Amino acid sequence: MAGNSLMKNFVYSIALAALIVGAPMTALAQSGIASVYPGGRTASGERVTAASLVAAHRTLPFGTRVRVTNRNTGRSVVLRIVDRGPFVRGRIIDVTPAAARALGFSGLAQVTLAVLR
């Protein structure tokens, strides 16, 4: 009996560890303010034009794809992170003018981000 209980505890521990380790990648969603930036030379070394569908985020790795949804219009677009920013308190992502048009805003907007695998 003691061996069976030990095995159950081991299995539960492994399952819990898998949930904890996997949680940040699957549960990463943020809400906040998006702003528009013109692009140019990025922190990743890539050149970005106003027509590019890319974005800047403070911490996500370069190349990460995120679905950005405008909370007012319901429109969403998938963007690739290529730069660092925004550096204004309260903002969570900078998007190019083309991305802002796709999302239906100019200037600032309330958005939700979801990291895609």
Average pLDDT, the chain: 85
Q: What per-residue confidence (pLDDT) applies to 97?
A: 97
**Structural domain spans, the chain:** 28-115
- Averaged pLDDT, 48-66: 96
Rounded Cα distance between 108 and 33, Å, is: 6
Contact 67, 111 (CB under 8 A): no
- The amino acid occupying position 47 is R
- How many other C-beta atoms can be found within 10 angstroms of the C-beta atom of residue 107? 8
Select from 68, 74, 110 the least CA-distant residue to 90: 110
| SS3 (DSSP) at 19 | helix
| Top-ranked range on mean pLDDT: pick from 5-14, 24-33, 106-115 | 106-115
Q: What per-residue confidence (pLDDT) applies to 28?
A: 73
Fold topology of 28-115 = Barwin-like endoglucanases (2.40.40)
Instruction: Please report, rounded to a whole number, the percentage of residues in the chain having pLDDT higher than 90.
Output: 72
Per residue in 61-107, pLDDT tens?
Answer: 999 999 999 999 999 999 999 999 999 999 999 999 999 999 999 99
**DSSP labels, 61-87:** PTT-EEEEEETTT--EEEEEEEE----
